[in-house]
Amino acid sequence: ILPASVAVILLVLLAVPAVRSSQGDKEPVYRDCVKLCVRTNCTGARLRGFEAKQPHYMALTGWTCRDDCRYQCMWTTVGLYQAEGFRIPQFHGKWPFARFLCFEEPASALASLLNGLACLLMLLRYRSTVPRQSPMYHTINAFSLISLNAWFWSTVFHTRDTYLTEKMDYFCATAVILYSIYLCCVRTLGLRRPGLSSMVGALLILVFTSHVSYLTFVSFDYGYNMAANTAIGMVNLLWWLCWCWQNRRTLPYWWKCGSVVLLLHGLALLELLDFPPLLWILDAHAVWHLSTIPVHFLFYRFVPPSFSHF
């Protein structure tokens, strides 16, 4: 159980919106709209009226009167852009999404939840079919739990974008990639050279700690974060593919491993599409998350034969 002071800090961070700047929120019409809305609705009796009428789920997820003003003014600005025939702008680093209940990005939140459920389902199946004495049982179990944690924070982040949830989403995603490298190291080298896998594990922990520390205490640089994750993702991809190629004649299931890593990295290219959300719900990020759901089932079809016998 967290100490009370730590719990309070987490709640405060959860309520702090992530701060980014984009074309839409730089528009004078948007800024003036927000100022007028806040001045009119977010003080005194009107604020108390807003809070009294606000659904509990909105209050619990940190939606404030100012946030609601920003949401309403975003659509006012979008309407003006559409009327003039201009391209839809982003606001605070994101496309405009139609809010559903308390969900800022309902499609991405649902896709993240479904990924988490798929991961959980296959983990439970793995635990029920693979003996605990298998060489990599605990390593696979840890990888699955790290993946579950990442999908949990992805769901939370797409539900409510705040200072805390954004960082947890980014950091947990990085942790999954780094642990996948460790998983590959243990599978290819570690069981015969446990000292080597321990050294690689320590190095990966150092990389993760340095990455998180830089983004937290120096600068939350989106470009750096993307470059860093791309670099470690390429290490992960190439290492797994080399293992698949070396074992293609001796392991009949090598193609499943190759398919998983190629699919995961190939599907990530969907992010490059970056189009305004269809029906204000479905954007490239949501499509990417939806497309990765079946990959969980393919991964756990590869894991039992590959990681249980050597």
pLDDT at 190 over 70: no
Q: Is residue 8 part of a domain?
A: no
User: 215 with 127, same domain?
Assistant: yes
Q: Is residue 91 part of a domain?
A: no
HSE-CB of 14 using CA atoms within 13 angstroms? 16
Flag the least confident range among 99-103, 119-123, 127-131, 268-272: 268-272
Q: Is residue 76 part of a domain?
A: yes
> Which one, of 89, 142, 136, 150, lies nearest residue 276 by Cα?
89
User: 53 with 110, same domain?
Assistant: no
Per-residue model confidence (pLDDT) at position 104: 92
Q: Is residue 4 part of a domain?
A: no
What does the alpha-carbon distance between residue 310 and residue 135 come to, in Å, rounded to a whole number? 9
What does the alpha-carbon distance between residue 298 and residue 259 come to, in Å, rounded to a whole number? 8
**CA of 137: how far to CAs of 47, 249, 307, in Å?**
55, 25, 8
Per-residue model confidence (pLDDT) at position 16: 46
44 or 303: which carries more pLDDT confidence?
44
pLDDT at 3 over 50: no
> What's the average model confidence in pLDDT over 250-278?
80
pLDDT at 242 over 60: yes
User: 178 with 60, same domain?
Assistant: no
User: 140 with 32, same domain?
Assistant: no
User: 188 with 67, same domain?
Assistant: no
Helices (H) and strands (E) in the chain, counts: 14, 0
147 touches 177 (CB < 8 A)? no
Q: Report the residue count for the chain.
A: 310
User: 124 with 70, same domain?
Assistant: no
φ, ψ dihedrals at 100, nearest 5° = -120, 115
User: 160 with 263, same domain?
Assistant: yes
User: 42 with 131, same domain?
Assistant: no
Task: Please state, as a whole number, how many other Cβ atoms lie within 10 Å of the Cβ of residue 157.
Answer: 25
> Which one, of 141, 290, 170, 304, lies nearest residue 229 by Cα?
170
Q: Is residue 216 part of a domain?
A: yes
Residue pLDDT, tens place only, 41-77? 998 999 998 888 989 989 888 899 999 999 999 999 9
135 touches 192 (CB < 8 A)? no
The total of structural domains in the chain comes to: 2
Q: Is residue 135 part of a domain?
A: yes
Per-residue model confidence (pLDDT) at position 60: 87
Domain range for residue 45?
16-83
User: 29 with 73, same domain?
Assistant: yes
> Which one, of 111, 170, 119, 169, lies nearest residue 147 by Cα?
119
